[in-house]
Amino acid sequence: MDLKQLKAFIAIADLRSFSAAATKTGLSQPSLSRLLKQLETDMGVELINRYNRPLHLTEAGAFFYDKISAILTEIDTVTSMTQRLSAPSSALNIGFVPSVLYGLLPEVIASLKQSNPDIEVNLKDISSYQQIDALKSGDIDVGFGRFAHQDPWIQQILLRHERYVVALPKAHPLANVREQRLIDLANNRLILYHQTHLPIATPAITTSIPKPTSTNKLPAHTKRTNSTGQPLSFSTLNEPVTEPLLHLFAQYGIAPLMTTTVSDLQVALGLVAAGEGVTLVPASLQTVRTEQISYQRLVHENVTSPIYLHTLKDFVHPKIPDLLTATYQVYEQRGITYRKQKFASKL
Domain assignments of the chain as residue spans, ordered by start: 3-85, 87-161+306-334, 163-303
Q: Is the pLDDT of residue 105 over 70?
A: yes
Rounded to whole angstroms, how far apart are CA atoms 246 and 253?
A: 10
Rounded to whole angstroms, how far apart are CA atoms 124 and 157?
A: 19
Q: Report the pLDDT value the prediction gives residue 258, as an integer from 0 to 100.
A: 95
Assess whether the region 3-85 and the region 163-303 belong to the same CATH fold.
Answer: no
Q: Report the pLDDT value the prediction gives residue 51, as an integer from 0 to 100.
A: 81
Q: Is 9 helix (H, G, I), strand (E, B) or coil?
A: helix
DSSP category for residue 239: S
**Residue 194: closest CA among 255, 259, 137:** 259
Q: Which amino acid is at 9?
A: F
Class of domain 163-303: alpha beta
Report yes or no: 303 and 280 within 8 Å, Cβ to Cβ. yes
Radius of gyration for the chain, computed over Cα atoms and rounded to the nearest angstrom: 25
Rounded to whole angstroms, how far apart are CA atoms 51 and 140?
A: 42
Q: Is 218 helix (H, G, I), strand (E, B) or coil?
A: coil
Report yes or no: 189 and 172 within 8 Å, Cβ to Cβ. no
Ranges 110-119, 223-232, 233-242, 286-295: which has the least confidence:
223-232
pLDDT digits (tens, 9 = 90+) for 201-249: 444 333 333 333 333 333 333 344 444 444 443 334 456 788 999 999 9
Average pLDDT value for residue range 264-290: 95
Q: What's the CATH code, domain 3-85?
A: 1.10.10.10
- What pTM, to 2 d.p., does this model score? 0.71
Q: Looking at beta carbons, which pairs linking 224-231 to residues 24 or more positions away fall under 8 Å?
A: 224/255, 224/256, 224/257, 224/258, 225/257, 225/258, 226/258, 226/259, 227/258, 227/259, 227/260, 227/261
Report the share of the chain in percent with pLDDT over 90: 57
pLDDT digits (tens, 9 = 90+) for 2-52: 889 999 999 998 888 888 988 888 899 899 899 999 999 999 999 998 887
CATH 3.40.190.10 is right for the domain spanning 87-161+306-334:
yes
pLDDT digits (tens, 9 = 90+) for 168-197: 999 999 999 999 999 999 999 999 998 878
Q: Report the pLDDT value the prediction gives residue 107, as an integer from 0 to 100.
A: 96
Q: Report the pLDDT value the prediction gives residue 56, as an integer from 0 to 100.
A: 87
Report CA torsion sign: 26, 30, 33, 39: negative
Rounded to whole angstroms, how far apart are CA atoms 151 and 149?
A: 6
End-to-end CA distance of the chain: 32
Q: Is the pLDDT of residue 277 over 50?
A: yes
Report yes or no: 186 and 255 within 8 Å, Cβ to Cβ. yes
Rounded to whole angstroms, how far apart are CA atoms 22 and 29?
A: 6
